[in-house]
Structure 1
Amino acid sequence: MSVVNTKKWLSEHGENPIKLCEKLIKYFNGSSQKEIYDYLCLYGMYKPSIFNKRKEIEQLITSNYWKEVNKHYTSLRLKFKGPDIPIFIFPINQRNSRMMEENKGKSGLAFYDKLFLFLSPNMEEMELKALITHEYHHVCRLDSMNQKDEELTLLDTILLEGMAEHAVKKECGEERNAFWTKLYQTEQLEKWYKEIILPKQNITKKDQLFQELLYGMKGYPRMLGYSVGFYLVEQIIENHKYTLHSLEKLTKKQICKIIQSQT
């Protein structure tokens, strides 16, 4: 499938993204266009301003992102031996300060069978490559896990994030890793894994604590789950001589045994 020509969609319906999401209904079983749009907005989908409605849409349309994403996707698919999936590119919500500052004006949303990229104008190509690497690695891991989204545990999710950022480190260099990979010292992360994450490793998204631990909310350390996930993956690869490709093919149970052997 590769990169979908959402340029045409944006030209036709960019000022009405709910209308635009009609074209996504076939990719989401049983969801309405409004439900799809609301869900995508949680991860960075643009919200047209009452002022200069066309500006950010036209800026994205005139970019070369579709060609660049397709180039990186084609290369990564060969390296990761991953599935062929549709990739959708839309403008990012530029009024979301967290995504613009912490995420450097980019965001993504991965499923086992599709991928969304939310981009701002004038991004560096290596930042774009880092994003597609992270998100497409999610696709590959989710495809190998063969689990429904609601079945993913906290440990599943933090390992998913850790593996994706290790892929970024390998493909793009450590300087392109997300800010949360550098927030804490190893000793602190090991302590938090044992005392906070491990006792709750099997909770799922239906548990309110899941988001609090993953993102570090309500008194928990900032980006706790993400940071611990990257730490665990780095430790396994460094201490047990696994490659990322061999690690991503293991089940959670197999990975748990490796973690237990080193903690």
Structure 2
Amino acid sequence: MGIIRTDKWLEEDFDSPIKICEKLLPVFKGQSASKVYNQLTNYGMYRASQRTKEIFKTMKEKRIWEEVDGVFQEYKRKWEGPDIPIYLFPIGQNRSFFFRQEEKVKGGVSYPDKMFLFLSDSLTLQELEALFVHEYHHICRLNKQTKRFDDYTLLDSIIIEGLAEYSVLVHCGRNYLADWCTMYSGAELDDLWRRFLEDSLDIKKSDRKHDDLLYGSGRIPKLLGYAAGFKIVEEYYRQNHYSTKLSFTMPAKKYLMTDDNHTKRGRKK
């Protein structure tokens, strides 16, 4: 599978993104095109405008579809990862969202069987690789875990985000880490872990509180779950050997078992 030529779809129906989403219905079984579009815009998919049309034009000029396919083939071979469809679209410019958001330069969302990347015209090839690595790590871990996706807990989500960004550190370098990796100090995360996360690690993805704690909401700091996840994983690998392939299969609870992990220091007696 690999890269789906969404550039051809965009050439034909750029101004009708819901019509484009009709082509996605085979991979979103039981959903309508409008529901799929609403879901994807939450993660960064474009809304038709002159600005997003300019982004699409530049993506074509830079041969972004071919570039992403090259990165995919490299990591699929290196990680022995699944052969999934990858859909590329311009990134929306008038909406806030999470998932690798950095000044609306890039965004993405991954499912066990597909990946969506939302890109801007200012994205460098190194930033593109970092985004891909983060999202493809998700897909590899989701496919190697025995737990059903619907049974994922807050701890599972925190760790999967931390692992995905740690893989960016390993394969792309610290310069390409997301801003949320350094959003809070270690002392701040110690305190925030005790206040917000420690007693809620077992809540399921279906619980609204799950997303509030992962992404932030109201008094819950922005991207708290993401930041905590990266800190936990980074501290674990200060004491343990890193293997990308093993990171696909290791249970989330294993990452809490370090001597200096801030979660352990903050755990109630």
* TM-score, normalised with respect to structure 2: 0.88
Q: Which residue of 2 aligns with 1:236?
A: 236
Q: Is the 8 A contact 2:45 2:90 kept in 1?
A: yes
Q: Which residue of 1 aligns with 2:61?
A: 62
Matches of 2:104 and 2:240 in 1, distance apart? Answer: 33
Matches of 2:9 and 2:37 in 1, distance apart? Answer: 14
Aligned pair 1:89/2:98, yes or no?
no
Give the partner amino acid of 1:181. C
Q: Which residue of 2 aligns with 1:193?
A: 193
Matches of 1:47 and 1:146 in 2, distance apart? Answer: 37
Q: Is the 8 A contact 1:163 1:244 kept in 2?
A: no
Matches of 1:63 and 1:4 in 2, distance apart? Answer: 17
Tell me by how many angstroms 1:234 deviates: 0.8
Q: Is the 8 A contact 2:52 2:93 kept in 1?
A: no
Aligned pair 1:248/2:248, yes or no?
yes
Q: Which residue of 2 aligns with 1:123?
A: 123
Q: Is the 8 A contact 1:180 1:226 kept in 2?
A: yes
Distance change >3 Å, CA 34–CA 97, structure 1 → 2? closer
Distance change >3 Å, CA 54–CA 179, structure 1 → 2? closer
| Mapping for residues 33-112 of structure 1, pairs under 5 Å | 33-49=33-49, 54-96=53-95, 102-112=102-112
Give the partner amino acid of 1:161. E
The alignment of Structure 1 onto Structure 2 pairs a total of residues equal to 261
Distance change >3 Å, CA 97–CA 27, structure 1 → 2? closer
Tell me by how many angstroms 1:59 deviates: 3.1
Deviations 1:93-116 (A, max 9, x none): 022366797355100010111100
SS in 1 for 2:23: helix
Q: Greater shift after overlay, 243-252 or 65-74?
A: 243-252
Deviations 1:103-133 (A, max 9, x none): 5510001011110000111311111111001
| Mapping for residues 204-223 of structure 1, pairs under 5 Å | 204-223=204-223
Distance change >3 Å, CA 97–CA 110, structure 1 → 2? closer
Distance change >3 Å, CA 248–CA 259, structure 1 → 2? farther
Q: Which residue of 2 aligns with 1:145?
A: 145
5+ residue gaps, structure 2: 265-269
Q: Which residue of 1 aligns with 2:267?
A: none
Deviations 1:17-48 (A, max 9, x none): 10011111111111111111111111001011
Q: Which residue of 2 aligns with 1:183?
A: 183
Q: Is the 8 A contact 1:91 1:120 kept in 2?
A: yes
SS in 1 for 2:118: strand
Q: Greater shift after overlay, 9-18 or 209-218?
A: 209-218
Identity %: 36
Distance change >3 Å, CA 146–CA 3, structure 1 → 2? farther
Q: Is the 8 A contact 2:196 2:220 kept in 1?
A: no
Aligned pair 1:24/2:24, yes or no?
yes
Deviations 1:39-58 (A, max 9, x none): 11110010113x57743433
Distance change >3 Å, CA 52–CA 59, structure 1 → 2? same
Matches of 2:253 and 2:52 in 1, distance apart? Answer: 49
Tell me by how many angstroms 1:86 deviates: 0.6
Matches of 1:261 and 1:76 in 2, distance apart? Answer: 32
Distance change >3 Å, CA 210–CA 89, structure 1 → 2? same
5+ residue gaps, structure 1: none
SS in 2 for 1:118: strand
Matches of 2:59 and 2:238 in 1, distance apart? Answer: 40
Give the partner amino acid of 1:173. G
Q: Greater shift after overlay, 208-217 or 109-118?
A: 208-217
Q: Greater shift after overlay, 140-149 or 85-94?
A: 140-149
